[in-house]
Each structure stands twice: as C-alpha cells, then as structure tokens.
Amino acid sequence: MKNIRLSTGFAVLGCLLLASCYPVNENPNQKKVTKTPAKVAANPDPQKIKEQEALKKKEQEELAQNNPPENPGASTQPTDKTKPPVEAKRDYAFANKVPGKDGFVFSPYNNKVVDVRDIPTGTLVMDPTYPAAEKKFFRVP
C-alpha cells in the first residue's frame, strides 16, 4: 500500500514537472517569429493583384502603340492564329534547407531560420522575419 502511494506521488510530481516546462528565450532582444507563410500562400494580396492587372493593361497598350495593325479596318482582337503576349513571371529566390531539420529553411534575405512545415514545395511565401510593409517573398525548396 505504501509503495502504491509512493509511486503515485512520484508520477504526479513527474507530470507536474513536465507540464511546467516552458521554453526559455535564449535571445530576448530577438523579435518573436510567428508562422504566417500559410496565410500568404492561400490569400494573395489584393493590392498586388490590382498592380499586376494595371501592368498587363499598360503593356498591352504599349504593344498596340508600337505595333499598329496591318489592316486599319481589322479588329485588334487576337485571333486563333496569334497568341497574346506572354507575361514575364517574376522569379523569386528559393530558400535553402536547414541540414538535419525537415520543414525548416534559411531565409534567402537574412539567413534566419523559418518554419515551413506543411507547406508544399515551390509555394511562394512571405518571409515572416520582415515586416509586412517590406513584402519579402521566397519559394519553398
């Protein structure tokens, strides 16, 4: 009976010690990093989309001014035979994997470790170590 009480007491004490563990911040001056890449990958910035659409319109207008149609009476709409101008994609930097830690990468901008677990390869994410105003993006390797 005494052994059962003693072992129960040690078990409760062990559970309390494990539950009271709290990670210690080794660098208190460093800002706390929150995991936000999933939100950026799922919800693109509406302002950025508007800017891209305005850029497309501007490029199409410039092409129309530089290359007037051969038949002035013909419509300027592209036909089946002609392809619309291809928009040049902006290439973003790829992050580097942290050796020995799956789901963690080094940011290509400041080499800080970023958690990208559960984010598919090739996804464009915003670097959480920068403020949202700077908008630093990279791709998951």
In a domain, 107, yes or no: yes
In a domain, 26, yes or no: no
In a domain, 2, yes or no: no
Residue 48 in tokens:
């950025």
pLDDT at 116: 93
In a domain, 98, yes or no: yes
pLDDT at 29: 67
In a domain, 104, yes or no: yes
Convert the pLDDT of each residue in 30-71 to its tens digit.
665 565 555 545 455 677 777 878 888 877 777 777 665 555
Residue 117 in tokens:
């677990």
In a domain, 109, yes or no: yes
Write the DSSP string, 76-128. -S--SSSPPPPPPPPP-PBPEEPTT-TTEEE-TTT--EEE-TT--TT-EEE-T
In a domain, 35, yes or no: no
Pairwise CA distance, residues 139 & 127, whole Å: 10
Residue ranges in the chain modelled with pLDDT below 70? 15-45, 66-89
Residue 41 in tokens:
């990958």
In a domain, 37, yes or no: no
By residue range, what is the domain housing residue 106? 90-141
Contact 33, 114 (CB under 8 A): yes
Domain count, the chain: 1
